[in-house]
């Protein structure tokens, strides 16, 4: 298997640890190990007593129980704890796809969601989100027109990176009905679940609705712990579960013991971590609205419904060139859309960090200066 370049991660690698203002990150504000243990009523001494032997390949049973409790109909047996969330995508696609089948992927998409199916399957077919005046929309007629007798898998991600789109419950059920009707697997990336801006908007997990669902989740985004590398898959189908687990034995064998320990601590205080991050996102969205109103000549802003990011349309120019220029001239990082299989006129904004206010103010100054020299 030949792997194509992971452009989003490479773009971030170029600027992430040197630029002053990260206006595009998808994770949320993080905390220290000490803070996390304190919130979970645990101590650093507890962590110190942890033995560093191999762990169970499927994941620590207590952790799997705690994860299973976050779903309606899932048991610890359906949960596979990973070495990292991204590993879950790699091993799922390996188990599902080969040159005899096709996958349909909702776009724009986080690189791995599209690139891996494209490299593994006979065909990876984009199912484009449609931009409307104020929002994004799923086109089910289009989806059905893309299904062939080779289609094995539909790939979606809700809440959606990079648009902040969230379907309604009715739309989500319709998607599952279509998957069921054509007997397709549904990989649902739920890394941002819990970050719905209105709590009533939260969708049920695909894992609770459909036996042929493969659900990815983890603690990087909603809980703000990306350095923990804690993630899991939920797969009810036993044959598929074993197929995916076999791939995992070649990639990480078993989850890191400290990650499992701290993931269990994080799940004990999950609600607090989530609420903290939702609060930051809401405050930052309050700042974003007047900013985009002020610069409405430049941007078309569709307010996100869920998650930590939004995809903002440039009214003129090329997003990739613009993003590099902005990073070099103003040390402000915005991710351009082509990496996510979308036309080159969108930029991703991220609202999950407390540094957003300062970064947005710096961008505002940059735009005002650019206007003066026009």
For ligand PLP, the binding residues (CB under 6 A) are 26, 84-86, 110, 157, 161, 189, 191, 218, 220, 226
Residue nearer to ligand PLP on the CB measure, 157 or 284: 157
| Side-chain half-sphere CA neighbours of 131 within 13 A | 16
Residue of 294, 349, 303 whose CA lies nearest to 136: 303
DSSP-derived letter for residue 326 is H
Task: For residues 287 and 274, give the distance between their C-alpha atoms in angstroms, rounded to a whole number.
Answer: 20
Least distance between ligand PLP and beta carbon 86 (Å): 3
The residue with its CB nearest to ligand PLP is 220
Residue nearer to ligand PLP on the CB measure, 227 or 317: 227
Residue of 228, 171, 180 whose CA lies nearest to 201: 171
| Side-chain half-sphere CA neighbours of 341 within 13 A | 21
Residue nearer to ligand PLP on the CB measure, 185 or 339: 339
Residue nearer to ligand PLP on the CB measure, 193 or 212: 193
Least distance between ligand PLP and beta carbon 172 (Å): 16
Residue nearer to ligand PLP on the CB measure, 24 or 220: 220
Residue of 109, 64, 105 whose CA lies nearest to 235: 64
Residue nearer to ligand PLP on the CB measure, 163 or 367: 163
Least distance between ligand PLP and beta carbon 161 (Å): 4
Least distance between ligand PLP and beta carbon 236 (Å): 20
Least distance between ligand PLP and beta carbon 290 (Å): 27
Task: Bin 183: left if φ > 0, else alpha if -120 < ψ < 50, else beta.
Answer: left
Buried b (16+ CB within 10 A) or exposed e, 6-18: bbbeebbeebeee
Least distance between ligand PLP and beta carbon 13 (Å): 13
Least distance between ligand PLP and beta carbon 325 (Å): 24
- Cis peptide leading into residue 162 (ω within 30°): yes
Residue nearer to ligand PLP on the CB measure, 164 or 218: 218
Least distance between ligand PLP and beta carbon 190 (Å): 9
Residue nearer to ligand PLP on the CB measure, 330 or 334: 334
Task: For residues 340 and 247, give the distance between their C-alpha atoms in angstroms, rounded to a whole number.
Answer: 26
The residues near 102 (Cβ < 8 Å, ≥ 6 apart) are: 121, 122, 123, 124, 125, 148, 150, 151, 152, 153
CB 188 within 8 A of CB 156: yes
DSSP letters for 93-144: HHHH--TT-EEEEEES--HHHHHHHHHHSSEEEEEEPEE-SSSEE--HHHHH
CB 202 within 8 A of CB 193: yes
Residue nearer to ligand PLP on the CB measure, 191 or 278: 191
Residue of 297, 316, 308, 318 whose CA lies nearest to 349: 308
CB 169 within 8 A of CB 282: no
The token pair at 8 is 């989003």
Least distance between ligand PLP and beta carbon 338 (Å): 16
Task: For residues 55 and 14, give the distance between their C-alpha atoms in angstroms, rounded to a whole number.
Answer: 35
């Amino acid at each position: 298997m030949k792997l194509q370049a992971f452009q989003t991660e490479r773009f971030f690698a170029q600027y992430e640890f040197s630029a002053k203002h990260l206006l595009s990150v998808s994770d949320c504000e993080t905390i220290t190990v000490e803070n996390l243990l304190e919130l979970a009523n645990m101590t650093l001494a507890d962590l110190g007593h942890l033995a560093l032997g191999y762990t169970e390949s499927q994941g620590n049973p207590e952790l799997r129980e705690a994860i299973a409790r976050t779903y309606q109909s899932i048991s610890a047996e359906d949960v596979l704890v990973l070495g990292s969330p991204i590993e879950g995508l790699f091993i799922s696609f390996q188990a599902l796809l080969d040159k005899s089948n096709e996958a349909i992927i909702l776009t724009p998409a986080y690189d791995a969601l599209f690139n891996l199916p494209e490299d593994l399957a006979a065909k990876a077919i984009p199912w484009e989100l449609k931009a409307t005046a104020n929002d994004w929309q799923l086109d089910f007629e289009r989806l059905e027109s893309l299904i062939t007798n080779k289609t094995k898998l539909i790939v979606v991600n809700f809440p959606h990176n990079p648009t902040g789109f969230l379907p309604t419950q009715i739309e989500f059920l319709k998607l599952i009905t279509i998957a069921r009707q054509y007997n397709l697997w549904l990989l649902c990336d739920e890394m941002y679940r819990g970050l719905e801006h209105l709590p009533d908007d939260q969708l049920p997990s695909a894992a609770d609705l459909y036996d042929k669902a493969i659900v990815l989740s983890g603690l990087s985004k909603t809980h703000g712990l990306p350095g923990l590398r804690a993630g899991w898959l939920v797969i009810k189908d036993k044959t598929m579960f074993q197929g995916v687990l076999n791939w995992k034995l070649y990639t990480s064998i078993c989850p890191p013991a400290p990650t499992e320990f701290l993931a269990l601590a994080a799940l004990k205080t999950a609600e607090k971590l989530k609420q903290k991050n939702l609060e930051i996102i809401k405050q930052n969205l309050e700042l974003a609205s007047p900013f985009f109103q002020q610069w409405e000549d430049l941007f078309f802003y569709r307010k996100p419904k869920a998650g930590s990011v939004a995809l903002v349309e440039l009214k003129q120019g090329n997003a990739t060139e613009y993003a590099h220029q902005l990073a070099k001239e103003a040390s402000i990082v915005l991710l351009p859309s082509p990496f996510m299989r979308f036309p080159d006129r969108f930029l991703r904004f991220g609202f999950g960090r407390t540094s957003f206010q300062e970064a947005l103010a710096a961008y505002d100054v940059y735009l005002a200066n650019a206007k003066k020299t026009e």
